[in-house]
């Protein structure tokens, strides 16, 4: 291939593998070499296994030589250390390996293995996914590659996922999203993160945070890659070409985007808001319908997520039932926050679940005159890690990180973030699109239209200076 795999779409890499112009072993060795070059500094992985990757690549080459070439055959993939993966311990960001059942392939990992994907290793996560900025005292925090001098946060809880993509050790990074844990790190690292509609994909084999809100999915370098991933793995499709054909029938212009009037936009950092307004303005100039909608419902959903205690109650109930010995060894920041979670089934929890149902019943009005809503994916520049050691500073940063993404989760909507520029500090700015429940295909089509209008991350942003 003329370019390194990091600069190619997954579809082009897969085509090169099928044609024999590239072998899975060559691709794996390239990924291993990239990790060797950047891994120690960027710290994306809790565990990286070069030998198991080489074995998987050799098996993939045997399949490719037989003409057995599913979409992800030979493609390097990183996996958040919340997923069960055969051959790897699962720590879920904690100080101790979880019991044996969590070493079996999760549903999404198994589907990728069936297609011949090459698992490179397990990326860092916030402990039990209970945090949005990406820190972890047990294992250390990955380094955001967009600052060559200062160790800045990557966002969480899928904190190592986006870093693994820029590092070049994976072309797909599996993550999970409860209140923003795919979208937040995608926004902070200049990658693409798709929160799939809740319950569309099985969370079997993934350590739970909130059964009410948890979703699985991935981070990719481009929207095109996100479409390839979704089309390849979604049970309704199983073929990225069929999904691509459907998306081709959607209008590239004339889409309607609404900017909600809400505190998320009001409180967004000025230089980030300027980049986002500029991107939306360019969409309007390209023929999109750009309007406004009352976003009070989003503010109500955000308040419920932050104060209702649904995720905390469900996480604590899981720990008490399945991992009681882990409670006393929790990171103090995570432990102190979970200690204040309401009881599962108690009055506050039941009231919050009922309130959520009420809010979800009102979502249709958000899309009465819009195909998608436009929001920031991150409201502030990723902070230097050194500034977040204090519990109060951590808490404030955590709330700021969750505010723009948690409403879509609480309301049962699907959402995606993609990079559209750099802020005044040279850090990525993510534009978040939100669509109705079950409209993942239309959401991906709208994001693809943006990427084609504005350019993918490597064209729009360049390469991170920290690489």
d(CA 163, CA 137): 18
Catalytic residue among 80, 195, 232, 409: 80
Q: Which of 181, 210, 232, 409 is catalytic?
A: 181
- Residue whose pair of structure tokens reads 């380094």 in the numeric block: 143
Q: What kind and span of H or E run contains 432?
A: strand 428-435
The tokens 């919340």 sit on which residue?
82
| Token couple for 315 | 């996480």
Confirm if 370 and 291 have CB atoms less than 8 A apart.
Answer: yes
Q: Are strands 192-195 and 76-80 parallel, antiparallel or unpaired?
A: unpaired
* CA distance linking residue 53 with residue 58, whole number of Å: 9
Look up 80 and say whether it is catalytic. Answer: yes
DSSP track, 301-323? HHHHHHHH-HHHHHHHHHHHHH-
DSSP 47-116: EE-HHHHHHHHHHHHHHHHTT---TTTT-EEEEETTB--TTS---TTSSSPPPGGGGSPPHHHHHHHHTT
Which candidate, 260, 298, 465, 274, places its Cα nearest to that of 379?
274
For 148, the token pair is: 């060559």
Find the farthest-apart pair of alpha carbons in the chain and give their distance in angstroms, rounded: 62
92: left (phi over 0), alpha (psi -120 to 50) or beta: left
In angstroms, how far is the first alpha carbon of the chain from the final one?
22
Q: Is the peptide bond before 157 cis (omega within 30 degrees of 0)?
A: yes
Annotated catalytic residue: which of 94, 157, 164, 378? 157
Give the active site residues.
Answer: 80, 157, 181
């Amino acid at each position: 291939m003329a370019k390194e795999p990091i600069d190619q779409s997954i579809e082009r890499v897969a085509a090169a593998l099928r044609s024999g112009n590239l072998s899975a072993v060559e691709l794996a060795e390239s990924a291993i070499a990239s990790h060797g070059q950047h891994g120690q500094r960027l710290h994306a992985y809790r565990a990286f296994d070069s030998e198991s990757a080489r074995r998987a690549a050799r098996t993939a080459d045997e399949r490719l030589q037989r003409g057995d070439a599913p979409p992800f055959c030979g493609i390097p993939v990183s996996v958040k250390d919340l997923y069960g993966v055969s051959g790897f311990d699962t720590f879920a960001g904690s100080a101790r390996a979880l019991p044996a059942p969590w070493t079996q392939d999760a549903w999404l990992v198994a589907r990728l293995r069936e297609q011949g994907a090459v698992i490179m290793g397990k990326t860092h996560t916030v402990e039990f996914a209970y945090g949005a900025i990406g820190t972890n005292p047990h294992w250390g925090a990955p380094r955001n590659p967009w600052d060559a001098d200062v160790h800045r946060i990557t966002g969480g809880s899928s904190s190592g996922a986006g870093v693994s993509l820029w590092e070049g050790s994976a072309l797909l990074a599996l993550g999970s999203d409860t209140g923003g844990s795919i979208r937040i790190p995608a926004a902070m690292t200049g990658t693409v993160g798709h929160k799939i509609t809740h319950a569309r994909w099985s969370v079997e084999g993934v350590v739970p945070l909130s059964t009410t809100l948890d979703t699985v999915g991935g981070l990719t370098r481009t929207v095109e890659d996100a479409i390839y991933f979704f089309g390849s793995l979604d049970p309704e499709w199983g073929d990225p070409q069929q999904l691509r054909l459907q998306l081709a029938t959607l209008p590239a212009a004339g889409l309607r985007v609404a900017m909600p009037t809400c505190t998320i936009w009001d409180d967004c950092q000025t230089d980030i808001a300027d980049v986002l307004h500029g991107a939306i303005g360019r969409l309007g100039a390209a023929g999109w319908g750009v309007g406004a909608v009352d976003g009070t419902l989003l503010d109500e959903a955000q308040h419920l997520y932050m104060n209702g205690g649904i995720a905390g109650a469900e996480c604590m109930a899981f720990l008490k039932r399945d991992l009681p010995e882990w409670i006393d060894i929790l990171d103090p920041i995570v432990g102190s926050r979970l200690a204040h979670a309401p009881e599962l089934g108690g009055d506050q929890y039941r009231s919050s679940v009922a309130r959520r149902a009420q809010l979800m019943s009102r979502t249709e009005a958000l899309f009465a005159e819009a195909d998608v809503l436009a929001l920031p994916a991150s409201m502030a520049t990723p902070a230097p890690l050194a500034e977040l050691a204090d519990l109060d500073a951590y808490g404030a940063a955590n709330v700021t990180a969750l505010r723009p993404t948690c409403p879509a989760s609480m309301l049962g909507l699907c959402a995606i973030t993609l990079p559209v520029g750099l802020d005044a500090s040279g850090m990525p700015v993510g534009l978040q699109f939100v669509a109705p429940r079950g409209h993942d295909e239309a959401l991906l089509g709208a994001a693809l239209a943006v990427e084609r209008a504005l350019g993918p991350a490597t064209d729009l942003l360049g390469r991170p200076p920290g690489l």
